[in-house]
Amino acid sequence: MKNVRSRIAGYLPLVLAFACTMAMAWEVNRRPTPADAEPFHTAAAEMIKALPIKFGVWEGVEVPVPQAAQSLLKPNALLSRSYKNTSTGERASLVLVQCKDTRDMGGHYPPICYPGQGWVEDGPQQLVAVTVGSRPVNMIRYDFRRESFDRDRRLVVYNFFAIPGQGLPTDMKSVRASAEDYTARPFGAGQFQVVLDGQRPIEREQAIVAELLGPLDAVIGLLSDNKWRSR
């Protein structure tokens, strides 16, 4: 009996190692792959492509995105437009980029992009909530300025992200955490920006942001929906 117990004890490490290996293999096989995420990316690209360039009092024109930026982002879908309010003459830009791999979003957000173009952050970042369609959306408001020999320019940027299963984070830390999550990475991330030139009351800023993002309400819901990762 003692010898039998000794033999069993000798096999125990092998049994445990085999069980751990099987558990690891099972876990790896459960992870979503790029192929699993492809229906999501197809749906996202089609919905973004269908967004109207004119709605209400806002008329838009497409703004080319530099090839270097596209090479960095590797976007699945990209929208870059300049809008004019035909009633007030106000102008604003709308940018939406959606990447298949969350890691490709890592270098693209206002504190990195705008200083790289000569803009300087001018004032603290502000967390604000803007109602977009049917949902309140938290965003970060950034102030930038750029000096030139004849005048100073100012920009205000409203920015937030959308990640399936994580909702609508406002910070790059959440995006990078998603990039490290093997179950989230294949579904990528989206980023929304509304850019305003000049100065106006913050209430008017947020009204413009709400108007420009209103037609994107369904896109915001799609890009942040957890159902794709749970399939």
| 75-85 and 58-62 strand pairing | antiparallel
116-151 per-position pLDDT tens digit: 888 999 989 999 999 998 899 999 999 999 987 667
59 exposure class (CB count in 10 Å sphere: 0-12, 13-18, 19+) = middle
- Look up the pTM and report it: 0.84
* CA dist., res. 123 & res. 35, Å (int): 43
* pLDDT the model gives residue 120: 94
* CA dist., res. 206 & res. 210, Å (int): 6
Phi, psi of 214 (to 5 degrees): -50, -50
86-111 per-position pLDDT tens digit: 999 999 999 999 999 888 887 788 99
11-59 per-position pLDDT tens digit: 545 444 433 333 333 333 445 688 889 999 999 999 999 999 999 999 9
